[in-house]
Amino acid sequence: MLEPKPLRGKTALVTGGAVRLGAMSARFLHAAGAHVVIHYRNSFTAAEALREELEAQRPRSATLVRGDLLDFGALPRFVERCLAATGRLDILLNNASNYFPTPLETVTEAQWESLFGVNAKAPFFLSREAAPHLRERHGCIVNMVDIHAERPNPGYPVYSMAKAANAMMVKALARELAPEVRVNGVAPGAILWPEGAEGKQSKAQALPRIPLGRAGAPEQIARTVLFLATTDYITGQIIAVDGGRSIQQ
């Protein structure tokens, strides 16, 4: 018996889709039948490898689009790429993120602009560009939020504030785009860490504060993205996939 493909014939745009959580989410959306448009900035090698991987499973089922999310004039081109590939856009996954520390004593305006630009401004204006096409298809937007939108991460105040704006975007756009378009979010907890000593230290600090006592996996995030892309009676909600970290003291 063939496995059902709930997204067969649909098109999904995934920002930051070449690596990490974006790449895993693209794989899950593709496995459910979607044509995946993978946005990347500098990760061409990873993006091309992912495209080849997906098209080996189903020919002509993945498309690449390159662009800097801080170049707001380029955002319409991302949507145009989807329309050129398949003539439609059904799912927008605002996954791309910028993450680095901004100690209060040394934070700069340029750091503020970068963090708010990638985590809040670009997803908002890309959603605006996509909205007419999503309305036409009764599609959906999924934002990759963060548990630190509600629990500020020490040393990362600007990132935490930008993700808080991203979280409010989910609720605000759910109101603005209803009833045709559903807007939801996923808030990952301890899933992936930076490479090197910093990542090992962050992991050692995080694990004891997770009620389930273990880190999560990218597949768990991608599975939640797919759920929100396929359910039809949930909007304005953010699902924390964090092993209970957001309820811990």
Q: Give catalytic residues, as residue numbers.
A: 159
Contacts of 31 (CB under 8 A, 6+ apart): 57
Categorise residue 71: left if φ over 0, alpha if ψ from -120 to 50, beta otherwise.
beta
Using alpha carbons, list the distances in angstroms from residue 85 to 62, 82, 97, 128, 164: 9, 5, 25, 20, 33
DSSP 3: P
Distance, in Å, from the CA atom of 177 to the CA atom of 172, rounded to the nearest integer, reads 9
Q: In what order do the strands lie in the sheet with 11-14?
A: 62-66, 35-40, 11-14, 91-94, 140-144, 182-188, 238-241
Answer whether 34's CB lies under 8 Å from 114's CB: no
Question: Is the peptide bond between 179 and the residue preceding it cis, with omega within 30 degrees of 0?
Answer: yes
Element (H, E) at 140: strand 140-144
* 81 in Cβ contact with 65 (< 8 Å): yes
* Longest CA span, the chain: 61
